[in-house]
Structure 1
């Protein structure tokens, strides 16, 4: 039985008896993908109920403060050269707050020294060895120069980016460049990560080039055909963690119903659509968008689509922690070891605890302006398979960060405030075969009426990719014949 008739599919109260009714779509998950899906569905004329299990919206986007300075306690920037995230921010009134980083230069802390991040690479894969002396050994540099003499190796349907690059250019390139860059995005292991999923443009170039160096140059040449002067990345004044709240406000203003602390316990097909069971009620829906983690979606689809559930359950996650610290700026004035730029990456092969340090005060103008007497930075800890490390107490993670920062830069000052944010099971992994797995999941899900999946487990973990997958899911739901016939579209659509 469906309780609370207010949430059953119902006709438009202002229309006549023969008028098409407004379809009701339930979105499960209140991260940025779920919120974006709700926004898109409302624009398409649906009535929307969004159900979020926790008491917070935004998923891995979370705004916070430290000593009065606004900071992000999750993702801190978004790719601006993809349109989805920037467009969503503008549509919910944050356009004037969009800002590029004040600096984009960074370093690599390796072999006991800080090296400027080399230019002219594709996710750490270089086009030549000219800028790698010092970061790589002389033998490592020489190995790159001989790559074109190697026999061609096909990438096939997919290949590990770490294994392929190591075979062509040597392990040093992977360990000192590719690994720290990919670790910052996926918190994963480069020797497991799918090239097709993580660096698709390089994967496609290798289909027509026998040399990896030539493939990198082809990717760079293609980008040079349409040179751009706009920023690659963008943030939001006050932090990108402001975006979920702004989208939620826009959804509510247009009639969307958002409920936090409402975990979905079961999902069942009915003659009229779907029954979505929570702890308090069963919500009837014409369509459902699952924007929750893969393991949660797997549980909900176990009965209705065992094939999709099995594929979703195979998606693994990595955990990580962010340690945000505020220092008195005066205590850092005589610190010659602090490198210029936005921070530094740390190759895991060096055995350090932190995998990156971001100098938030230098990177984001609003942090600098809001706390002129402070220097705010954050470190990240944790990669795939390192969950045990994150079980340590906050003070231990802060202490480990300070020891690594001291070894890298000479930092000896003590922070005046710290904040540790753990993201347990926060980042889905994209191992070899991930695109094929996602295709199988979507094929199985497509057999269900008016149900789709979206979010970080599928087509990319970045904010624009999550929003794009949400829009795709919403559009496909609304294109379902039974829903499309009964939709009142917004005048501007």
Structure 2
């Protein structure tokens, strides 16, 4: 009987276990080890005001096929909901502004996109940018802040780019490499774009009325439960996989013992620790990927709370607020608007700034309410609230991230019966995690069953 261990019970580990079951058949023994007391990793659905609400990732990109296909396989396609047409705002220079349209991760193709958000001198600089010689090294990578700041200036970086990148990576453009975080832009620059505005125009997707994002009516917990059930795996929570080593042609991982193969589906720091003995060169590469921590405070307010008719509010860098963003959930998602409360989420924490993780729940709820009042004027007393801390929640894709991942995967490829998956590789979104887990399960099956 083939025995495979999956270390890590997040979306990557659960998807890997599900794929392994389909590939290895009903007789294989698949063991999933999860060090916490629950499955799901950085996806979590909890009851707030009596109904399910996501307090981790809340959406997926529907234009990528992985999650849509997975939901169809699991019979959950009818659970998909799409956002309303409400637009987000940016809080910058102490006031609200519409989120600029026609930008690529906040990087504009022309000055018109940022009118009102940045000053006249910055707008003039954007207009003049095509005439400034562009020096782009096709063999190298730079931070988004370095590239955009050198072409458009600091206001564009802090007021337009940082809020969007912070929402995806819990970091700043200073620690975001162009190639990993804005790959379409890098392709345009590699292809000979003559300026940054030219590169953005080339990289922008064609206009479309189809939804970009989707979510699940009952929250991501619906998907997690379905994957667990369909995998038919053994699940061991409160169990840290350790002692990964090669013995007599097989792998051994504590507490499972000898196995035919292992998929490591852990955050970068814990993956590095697990791989240290059995695959030290791979461990060294994983250790090079830093992680950011954050906090989500979900608030259920009275139905009459007068939140603006917008999907959310992103916060520019340097503002006198602790929060980095707000999701106005009842405005963003029509299926949540039908509830008898008004839902909103405040997010705190960026890479290098995790001090608020140590604050107690009451302090964080008070801070979330105060910042929400500052940007919206809403002071209603919540009828319910939930605080979710995400320690090491998101990997940082710094300049050169692609080379680190390539080196990591090259080292793993040399080790028989071992694979990796997770957000540290090719994308932090759920579709990218599903794709990486599917690849890992397929490769491992070829090795252990071949």
- TM-score when scaled to structure 2? 0.96
Question: Do structure 1's residue 484 and structure 2's residue 449 form an aligned pair?
Answer: yes
Q: Which of 424, 428, 444 does residue 461 from structure 1 map onto?
A: 428
In 1, the alpha carbon distance for the partners of 2:194 and 2:181 equals 20
Whichever of the two has the greater Rg, that structure is 1
Aligned equivalent of 1:270: 247
Aligned equivalent of 1:349: 318
User: How far is 1:103 from its partner?
Assistant: 3.3
In 2, the alpha carbon distance for the partners of 1:416 and 1:348 equals 31
User: How far is 1:357 from its partner?
Assistant: 0.7
Distance 1:43-1:104 versus aligned 2 partners, 3 A rule: farther
Aligned equivalent of 1:284: 258
In 2, the alpha carbon distance for the partners of 1:412 and 1:293 equals 38
In 1, the alpha carbon distance for the partners of 2:101 and 2:76 equals 32
Aligned equivalent of 1:320: 294
- C-alpha contact (below 8 Å) 1:147/1:211 kept by paired residues: yes
Distance 1:104-1:42 versus aligned 2 partners, 3 A rule: farther
Aligned equivalent of 1:20: none
In 1, the alpha carbon distance for the partners of 2:385 and 2:274 equals 38
User: How far is 1:259 from its partner?
Assistant: 2.2
In 2, the alpha carbon distance for the partners of 1:398 and 1:271 equals 54
Question: Do structure 1's residue 76 and structure 2's residue 52 form an aligned pair?
Answer: no
Q: Where does 1:419-430 land on structure 2 (aligned, <5 Å)?
A: 419-430=386-397
Question: Do structure 1's residue 367 and structure 2's residue 347 form an aligned pair?
Answer: no
Aligned equivalent of 2:11: 32
In 1, the alpha carbon distance for the partners of 2:230 and 2:395 equals 28
Question: Do structure 1's residue 94 and structure 2's residue 68 form an aligned pair?
Answer: no
- C-alpha contact (below 8 Å) 2:243/2:277 kept by paired residues: no
- C-alpha contact (below 8 Å) 1:322/1:378 kept by paired residues: yes
Aligned equivalent of 2:356: 389
**Larger deviation: 45-54 or 381-390?**
45-54
Aligned equivalent of 1:16: none
- C-alpha contact (below 8 Å) 2:253/2:259 kept by paired residues: yes
In 2, the alpha carbon distance for the partners of 1:359 and 1:62 equals 18
In 2, the alpha carbon distance for the partners of 1:313 and 1:124 equals 30
**Larger deviation: 52-61 or 228-237?**
228-237
Question: Do structure 1's residue 247 and structure 2's residue 224 form an aligned pair?
Answer: no
Unaligned runs of at least 5 residues, structure 2? none
| 1:434-467: CA deviation from partner (whole Å, max 9, x where unpaired) | 1101111111111111111110111111000001
| 1:368-401: CA deviation from partner (whole Å, max 9, x where unpaired) | 22x23x1111100000111112211212211222
Aligned equivalent of 1:303: 277
Q: Which of 150, 167, 178 does residue 161 from structure 2 map onto?
A: 178
In 1, the alpha carbon distance for the partners of 2:429 and 2:44 equals 15
- C-alpha contact (below 8 Å) 1:276/1:283 kept by paired residues: yes
| 1:112-144: CA deviation from partner (whole Å, max 9, x where unpaired) | 211111110111111111131211111111111
Aligned equivalent of 2:48: 66
Question: Do structure 1's residue 163 and structure 2's residue 146 form an aligned pair?
Answer: yes
Give the alignment's Cα RMSD to 1 decimal: 1.4
Aligned pair count reads: 445
Question: Do structure 1's residue 143 and structure 2's residue 133 form an aligned pair?
Answer: no
- TM-score when scaled to structure 1? 0.88
In 1, the alpha carbon distance for the partners of 2:150 and 2:59 equals 33
- C-alpha contact (below 8 Å) 2:11/2:224 kept by paired residues: yes
| 1:332-380: CA deviation from partner (whole Å, max 9, x where unpaired) | 2xx4xx43221110012213111111111122233222x23x1111100
Aligned equivalent of 1:488: none
In 2, the alpha carbon distance for the partners of 1:264 and 1:390 equals 26
Unaligned runs of at least 5 residues, structure 1? 1-9, 11-22, 486-493
